[in-house]
């Protein structure tokens, strides 16, 4: 309410006092006859009073606005009202001190205000642009967890407008089972007076009811006296990456189970397969009987192979020579191959069965006879396809 209107209302209210007094002594009929006259006189008196009081204040406000724009040459007019005149005198002293300080520093008056305002506007513009262009959303709470401010990006994550978030406790938006966990984190941060941000994953409830996985980072706010004043934090929606991560873990588990089942199938197949007498086992088979051969080093890199080898797997020779044993041995990981090489070095020779993966993705069951060439520190592997 403006001061002038307030003064008029106060004076009109006071004018009711004599009307009430007259009514008490002479009756309300006589008081009513004076009512119009008293109100009119009081109105004009209050109008004049309010003008003389509010006019100097309006001039003073206008002068202060000019000063804030960098005009230090504003002349303060004296007022007939003692208190306002004292305020004007004090403001003149401040202006004189400010001019003296500017003169000593050697800076132009306009530069101080213009550069400050420009820097303030630029900083605010950069901050707004930052909030618009980042995926995260920012919010701040008081010491009870009630949201005081929130950036517009919250809508993309939770479906709420900032106005729907501000004024509410942030724990209302947490999945119930997450509420106690987050409260305990906050309590611990306050207890330790932890200024460093704490990062954790949690789940919030979207406006439409589904759960949203969020990576939250919160820091405590303390005032100059060290009293706790609330939290300031950043949140990022990680629902899609989290789902993708879970799917990858599930696929890894399924792949591991599939390999295990293939090993079982392979072993079962070997149990019922006819085998020649042990005298004609892998030790006595020649390269011609296997008709495919390759040589690899102690790091399992292929360094040579014959035509049958790379053709059976569907490669060209130069492609075959760029492979590692782990690239086409379906059942063994790099760690398995490393252990196998150690075992071959120790025993000199080893016979085994495995599955080779072709370039087109299909697979073949094979028998391998691997011989350690100690003088060259290489390994010769003769391969025969099992039918």
Question: CB atoms < 10 A from the CB of 261, how many?
Answer: 10
Contact 347, 329 (CB under 8 A): no
State yes or no: pLDDT of 264 exceeds 80: no
Q: Do domains 135-237 and 281-385 have the same CATH topology?
A: yes
Residue 296 has pLDDT above 90, yes or no: yes
d(C-alpha 216, C-alpha 210), whole Å:
18
CB 332 within 8 A of CB 381: no
The average pLDDT across 274-298 equals 58
Asked whether the predicted pLDDT for residue 331 surpasses 90, the reply is no
Where exactly are the structural domains of the chain? 3-105, 135-237, 281-385
Q: Which CATH superfamily is domain 135-237 in?
A: PAS domain (3.30.450.20)
d(CA 136, CA 217): 10
Q: Which residue has the higher pLDDT, 186 or 272?
A: 186
277 vs 127: which has the higher pLDDT: 127
Continuous segment of H or E residues that includes residue 214: strand 211-222
Residue-wise pLDDT for 93-118, tens only, equals 777 776 666 666 655 545 555 555 56
Q: Which two tokens stand for residue 17?
A: 């006092």
For residue 287, name the pLDDT band (cuts at 50, 70, 90): very low
Rg over CA atoms, the chain: 44
pLDDT digits (tens, 9 = 90+) for 218-235: 888 888 888 888 988 888
Over residues 208-219, the mean pLDDT reads 88
pLDDT tens figures, 173-189: 999 888 888 888 888 88
Task: Give the mean pLDDT of 198-205.
Answer: 87
Of 3-17, 99-113, 320-334, which gets the smallest average pLDDT? 99-113
Tokens of 256: 């591991």
Name the superfamily (CATH) of residues 281-385: PAS domain (3.30.450.20)
State yes or no: pLDDT of 59 exceeds 70: yes
Q: Residue 139 above 50 pLDDT?
A: yes
Confidence of residue 275 (pLDDT cuts 50, 70, 90): very low
Residues 6 or more apart whose Cβ sits within 8 Å of residue 362: none
pLDDT at position 61 over 90: no
Place of tokens 């087109």: 360
Tokens at 1, concatenated: 């309410």
């Amino acid at each position: 309410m403006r001061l002038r209107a307030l003064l008029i209302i106060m004076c009109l209210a006071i004018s009711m006092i004599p009307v009430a007094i007259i009514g008490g002594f002479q009756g309300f009929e006589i008081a009513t006859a004076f009512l119009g006259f008293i109100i009119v006189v009081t109105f004009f008196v209050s109008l004049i009073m309010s003008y003389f009081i509010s006019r100097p204040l309006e001039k003073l406000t206008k002068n202060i606005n000019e000063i804030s724009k960098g005009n230090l040459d504003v002349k303060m007019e004296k007022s007939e009202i003692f208190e306002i005149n004292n305020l004007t005198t004090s403001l003149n002293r401040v202006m004189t001190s400010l001019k003296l300080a500017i003169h000593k520093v050697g800076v132009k008056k306009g530069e101080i205000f213009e550069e400050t305002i420009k820097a303030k506007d630029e900083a605010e513009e950069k901050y707004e642009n930052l909030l618009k262009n980042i995926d995260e959303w920012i919010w701040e709470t008081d010491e009870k967890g009630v949201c005081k401010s929130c950036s517009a990006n919250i809508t993309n994550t939770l479906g709420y407008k900032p106005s729907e978030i501000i004024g509410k406790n942030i724990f209302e938006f947490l999945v119930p089972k997450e509420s106690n966990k987050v409260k305990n984190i906050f309590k611990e941060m306050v207890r330790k007076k932890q200024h460093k941000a704490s990062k954790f994953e949690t789940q919030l409830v979207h406006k439409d009811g589904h759960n949203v996985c969020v990576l939250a980072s919160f820091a405590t706010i303390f005032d100059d006296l060290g009293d706790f004043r609330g939290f300031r934090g950043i949140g990022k929606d990680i629902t899609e990456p989290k789902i993708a991560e879970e799917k990858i873990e599930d696929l890894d588990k399924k792949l591991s189970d599939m390999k295990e089942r293939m090993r079982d199938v392979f072993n079962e197949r070997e149990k019922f397969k006819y085998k020649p007498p042990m005298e004609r086992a892998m030790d006595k088979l020649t390269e011609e009987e296997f008709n495919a051969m390759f040589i690899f080093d102690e790091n399992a890199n292929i360094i040579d192979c014959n035509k049958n080898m790379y053709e059976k797997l569907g490669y060209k020779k130069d492609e075959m020579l760029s492979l590692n044993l782990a690239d086409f041995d379906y059942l063994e990981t790099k760690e398995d191959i490393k252990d196998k090489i150690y075992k071959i070095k120790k025993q000199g020779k080893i016979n085994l069965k495995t599955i080779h993966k072709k370039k087109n993705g299909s697979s073949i069951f094979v028998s391998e006879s691997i011989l350690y060439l100690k003088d060259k520190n290489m390994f010769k592997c003769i391969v025969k396809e099992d039918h």
